[in-house]
Amino acid sequence: MKKVHFIILLFLILGVNLTCTKDEITEPEKSEITNDLPDSIDDIENNQTNNGSRDGVGDLIFYRTSLTTDNYLLLNNTQTRFRIHKIYNKTKVKEIKFVSTGKPDVRIGSTLMSHYKIEVLYLDNSIESFTAYSKKSLSTFVFKPTGDNLLATTNPAKFISYETTGTSSINPNSIYYNPWRDESYSLFRWTIRKENSIVAIKEIEPLNKNSKQFMVIHID
């Protein structure tokens, strides 16, 4: 009987030791995972994953593939009443230099963007400098534009721009009918500039059949 009691006591001692050993291994692993998590998911949403409307964010958006800019963030923060789209002529641009300013990244739509100092070097060696948000990449790099150009290769301008205040058409009796949507409405009045000279003030029909108003096609 004493032998049986001894065996039972031995198993109890071993069970306690195994439990203690398991706790010593498990708890530190749990702590490591927890400590690596942010204090609040809302902190990420508010500061990093936004559309530029929070935290006083406001600047141009520069799209490298289409080589265009949009001042949507400035308009969204009521820093201007003009919506301006600018299209650079790829045939006139030698290269573009990007240097990070260190400002927090923002998310525009589904694209994470960083804030850069941008220098556009034209083939005639003139330079245009500005700051803008562009698709997140290296901190410093040089970009040489390639691919389709939104302007004809015969266009002599370095860039053109479209500007509107969102006001209705010049002629209020001129109504645009969108057969796809089966809707009728007035179009915005746009000022078109070739570099810095006004070349036209006119209504422009939307490029996308699903849209009510004209919009430049921007591609990251």
Tell me the per-residue pLDDT of 110-157, one tens digit each, with 9 for 90 and over. Answer: 999 999 999 999 999 999 999 999 999 999 999 999 999 999 989 999
Looking at the fold, whether 67 and 119 belong to one and the same domain comes out as yes
Look at 8-17, 35-44, 75-84, 87-96 and tell me which has the smallest mean pLDDT: 35-44
pLDDT tens for 165-209 read 988 766 766 788 888 889 888 899 999 999 999 999 999 999 988
Distance CA 204, CA 106 (A): 31
State residue 198's pLDDT score.
98
Looking at the fold, whether 87 and 13 belong to one and the same domain comes out as no
C-beta of residue 73 within 8 angstroms of C-beta of residue 144: no
Domains held by the chain: number? 2
Question: Cα 5 from chain centroid?
Answer: 73
Looking at the fold, whether 31 and 108 belong to one and the same domain comes out as no
Looking at the fold, whether 25 and 64 belong to one and the same domain comes out as no
Radius of gyration of the chain (CA): 29
Looking at the fold, whether 81 and 33 belong to one and the same domain comes out as no
Domain of 25? 1-37
Looking at the fold, whether 91 and 133 belong to one and the same domain comes out as yes
In a domain, residue 51? The reply is no
C-beta of residue 151 within 8 angstroms of C-beta of residue 92: no
C-beta of residue 159 within 8 angstroms of C-beta of residue 195: yes
Sign, CA torsion 20/24/25/26? positive
SS3 at position 90? helix
pLDDT tens for 15-69 read 544 444 333 322 223 222 222 222 222 222 223 334 444 445 789 999 999 999 9
Structure-model confidence comparison of residues 183 and 5, the more confident one: 183
Q: Residue 172: is it exposed, middle or buried by C-beta count within 10 angstroms (0-12/13-18/19+)?
A: exposed
In a domain, residue 16? The reply is yes
Looking at the fold, whether 184 and 146 belong to one and the same domain comes out as yes
Looking at the fold, whether 112 and 149 belong to one and the same domain comes out as yes
